[in-house]
């Protein structure tokens, strides 16, 4: 009998010990995986890869070159347009102006002679010395020369005025367009980031908008977790959250709630809340403060909201 009582007391003591050692469940915590924003860069102009200016894993600064392409046909086009623009800006040469003026003056002399012959034809026709046909021919010749002289004068004045401003603007716009395409031959980093994947090698010919590198924006880390509907009354945009990862036990990282899904979804298989799994949850995106650079994409993270549950 004493043995049975002793065993029963030992069992109760063991159960009490197990109960006291059972970890407290954090009813305001959820788990997720740290993710990072990615940027896929590509040239807007096609060409052949001639230089790789960065390697996978390199940290890049804004504007730092990654790859360089070459497009000889584009450079030839640029030279052609530049030459055409230079010609437009220079305007007509002195020889062209001189030739136009000489042509105009020669036609004026011919017009004076034609007018003189027309007046003589009028007199002769009045005396019935010439036929009406000869009279009409002299008058028509003078009128035709008047129009020819006016056209030659206009050509000379247009040359004096120089190139039209609209033509100059169009030429400069074409040159600026080609220069922009040439600048795209060097693919650069848009911001502070890490070169994750380089998708090309020297000698590759890539078309326009073909991805050449994948960049990780390491200053833009975030973790997406899923919370049940009852939590929505306490999880607010802009509020703080605490994040912990296995790599730094006991260390708290700061986070800010950046997005809350507008529609519910079924809980993903790889996401568990600290409560019993519910059928539908809402996604919450928490932006992480990674100024020290300790956090990495792919780390498992436990997120605790400030308001709790």
How do strand 280-288 and strand 300-305 relate by DSSP bridges? unpaired
Please give the pLDDT value at position 11.
44
Give the pLDDT confidence of 7-60 residue by residue, as tens digits: 444 444 444 443 333 333 344 578 899 998 899 999 988 999 999 999 998 999
For the chain, the maximum distance between any two Cα atoms, rounded to a whole number of angstroms, is: 169
Please give the pLDDT value at position 269.
52
Helices and strands (DSSP H and E) totals, the chain:
5, 13
> CB–CB of 255/289 below 8 Å?
yes
Please give the pLDDT value at position 203.
94
Distance in angstroms (rounded) separating the CA atoms of residues 53 and 61? 13
Provide the CA 70 distance to its chain's centre, in angstroms: 20
Which residue positions in the chain have pLDDT lower than 50? 1-27, 274, 276-278
Please give the pLDDT value at position 228.
85
First to last CA, the chain: 49
- CA distance to 140, 148, 151, per residue, from 144 (Å): 6, 6, 11
């Amino acid at each position: 009998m004493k043995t049975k009582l002793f065993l029963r007391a030992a069992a109760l003591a063991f159960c009490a010990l197990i109960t006291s050692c059972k970890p407290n469940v954090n009813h305001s915590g959820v788990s997720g995986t740290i993710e990072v924003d990615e940027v896929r860069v590509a040239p807007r102009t096609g060409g052949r890869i001639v230089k790789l200016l960065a390697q996978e894993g390199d940290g890049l600064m804004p504007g730092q070159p990654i790859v360089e392409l070459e497009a000889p046909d584009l450079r030839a086009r640029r030279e052609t347009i530049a030459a055409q623009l230079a010609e437009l800006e220079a305007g007509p040469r002195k020889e062209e102006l001189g030739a136009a003026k000489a042509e105009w003056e020669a036609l004026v002399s011919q017009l004076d002679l034609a007018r003189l012959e027309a007046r003589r034809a009028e007199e002769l026709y009045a005396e019935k010395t010439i036929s009406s046909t000869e009279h009409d021919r002299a008058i028509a010749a003078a009128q035709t020369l008047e129009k020819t002289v006016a056209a030659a004068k206009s050509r000379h004045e247009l040359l004096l005025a120089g190139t039209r401003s609209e033509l100059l603007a169009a030429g400069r716009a074409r040159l600026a367009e080609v220069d922009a395409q040439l600048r795209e031959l060097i693919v650069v980093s848009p911001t502070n980031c890490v070169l994750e994947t380089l998708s090309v090698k020297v000698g590759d010919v890539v078309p326009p908008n073909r991805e050449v590198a994948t960049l990780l924006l390491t200053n833009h880390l975030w973790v997406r977790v899923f919370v049940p509907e009852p939590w929505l009354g306490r999880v607010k945009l802009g509020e703080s959250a605490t994040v912990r990862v296995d790599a730094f036990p006991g260390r708290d990282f700061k986070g800010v709630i950046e997005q809350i899904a507008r529609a519910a979804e079924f809980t993903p298989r790889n996401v568990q809340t600290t409560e019993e799994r519910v059928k539908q949850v809402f996604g919450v995106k928490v932006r992480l403060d990674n100024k020290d650079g300790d956090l990495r994409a792919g780390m498992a993270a436990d997120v605790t909201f400030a308001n709790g549950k």
